[in-house]
Amino acid sequence: MAQRKPNVRVTQVSDIIELSPHLRRIVLSGDSLKGFSTGQEGAHVKVVLPSEQPSEQPSELQTTSADKSQKMRSYTIRSFKEDTLELTLDFVINRHDGPATNWAKNAKLVDKLIIAGPGPLKITDYDQTSYLLVGDITSVNAINGFVPKFNQDADIRAVISVPTRSDIITMDYDDSANTYWFVEDEMSISLEEQVLTLAKNMAKDTRVFLALEACKIRSLRPMLEEQLGFSRLDCTAVGYWKQGVDADKFSAQKKSGSN
Ligand SMILES: Cc1cc2nc3c(=O)[nH]c(=O)nc-3n(C[C@H](O)[C@H](O)[C@H](O)COP(=O)(O)OP(=O)(O)OC[C@H]3O[C@@H](n4cnc5c(N)ncnc54)[C@H](O)[C@@H]3O)c2cc1C
């Protein structure tokens, strides 16, 4: 008899909220979420996309079979409510075509979605005195998850790049003092220049989290080291997506060290 993988769950869409022109919130629920870890806001789950046939809904059977043709993508936990068994994920839409964004765009109430995880939190040291977080619309929920966990006396600065002003979303923390929204279609300087300006007087041992498109990380990380004196050892840099490359190829590139 096939063994059920313990962290693979079939969930059901229970709510859909249009957060912004480029962000669609999907709430997943179901008894399968019993025992899902709490306090993992900012970590990611893998969503396993249904196969290409539009009528096909994932079944319990699919959670037990290793179907290599199914596409998996990473999505960040915005919240998990243990009492109502509701897991909230926010999907970028209207920016590109791909199995995950297309699924989210067409999702309807009671559609099923398989998830696996959660994966580990990418930052776990919460008692530092200085933090710089730089993200975009794909990693806004990672920043939202981490900031409330940090020592609140720390110098915390976040820069979040969004396509338009309407994509600025409400955070779970008071973002008025420490979060700068970089509105892509209004800015006359680059994200890199903006980050350097905002971070120029920060302590050299600032803990840095970069969660961006891969080429943005490649340009920003050396600037932070060379121009601001930050240490590579204090920096967690994660390519959340790569322009022109789908997540399967990008993941293979990361594994082979060629991204
Ligand atoms: C740890 C982690 C957590 C993540 N959390 C989230 C999240 O909460 N919400 C979210 O929306 N994304 C999140 N992402 C990013 C998401 O996994 C990727 O954007 C993924 O490529 C989307 O899959 P897809 O099937 O839509 O497109 P793919 O099939 O992977 O890619 C198809 C094409 O679209 C392009 N593309 C992919 N993503 C984008 C984008 N955002 N903007 C413009 N072009 C793009 C690719 O370059 C490629 O050319 C996360 C990634 C990681 C690593």
Query: Domain containing 54 — which CATH number?
Result: 2.40.30.10
Residue finishing a domain among 94, 116, 138 = 116
DSSP 65: S
Pocket test for ligand 1, best of 92, 171, 242 (most atoms within 8 A of CB): 92
pLDDT on residue 50: 82
State the Cα–Cα distance between residues 231 and 217, nearest whole angstrom.
15
Per-residue model confidence (pLDDT) at position 66: 46
Would you call 144 exposed, middle or buried from its count of C-beta atoms within 10 A (0-12, 13-18, 19+)?
Answer: buried
> What is the reported pLDDT for 56?
56
According to the model, what pLDDT value does residue 58 have? 63
Number of domains in the chain: 2
* Residue of 80, 101, 209 best suited for mutating to test ligand 1, as the one with most atoms within 8 Å of CB: 101
CA of 47 to the centre of ligand 1 (A): 12
Q: Are residues 73 and 155 in the same domain?
A: no
Phi/psi of residue 141, each to 5°?
A: -80, -20
- Residue 74: CB within 6 Å of ligand 1? yes
What pLDDT, on the 0 to 100 scale, is given for residue 54? 52
32 and 57 within one domain: yes
> Do 173 and 107 share a structural domain?
no
Sign of the dihedral defined by the CA atoms of residues 205, 125, 148, 15, in that order: positive
Report if residue 259 sits inside a domain. Answer: no
The pLDDT score that the predictor gives to residue 68 is 65
pLDDT digits (tens, 9 = 90+) for 230-255: 999 999 999 999 999 999 999 999 99
pLDDT tens for 81-109 read: 999 999 999 999 999 999 999 999 999 99
Q: Which atom of ligand 1 is nearest to the CA of 73?
A: 17
Domain boundary among 70, 85, 116: 116
Confidence band (pLDDT; 50, 70, 90) for 259?
confident
Are residues 76 and 41 part of one domain?
yes
pLDDT cut 90: percent of the chain above it: 87
**Letter for the amino acid at 82?**
E
Considering only the C-alpha atoms of the chain, give the largest distance between any 2 of them, rounded to a whole number of Å: 60
Check if 103 has its Cβ closer than 6 Å to any atom of ligand 1. no
Q: Each residue of 21-58: b (16+ CB within 10 Å) or e?
A: ebbbbbbbbbebbeebeeebbbbbbbbbbbeeeeeeeb
Look at residue 1 in the predicted model and tell me its pLDDT: 47
255 falls within a domain:
no
Amino acid at 253: Q
94: left (phi over 0), alpha (psi -120 to 50) or beta: left
Asked if residue 92 and residue 137 are part of one domain, the reply reads no
Across residues 214-242, what is the average pLDDT? 97
Percent of the chain beyond pLDDT 70? 91
Task: Please indicate, yes or no, whether residues 158 and 229 belong to a single structural domain of this protein.
Answer: yes
Residues 73 and 148 in one domain: no
Reported residue count of the chain is 259
Mean pLDDT of 15-36: 98
CATH number of the domain encompassing residue 231: 3.40.50.80
Q: Is 20 in the pocket of ligand 1 (CB under 6 A)?
A: no
Cα distance between residue 123 and residue 126, in whole Å = 8
CA-nearest residue for atom 6, ligand 1, is 75
- Substitution site in 113, 241, 246, 250 for ligand 1 pocket (most atoms within 8 Å of beta carbon): 241
Domain that holds residue 154: 130-241
| Stronger pLDDT, 173 or 68, i.e. the higher one | 173
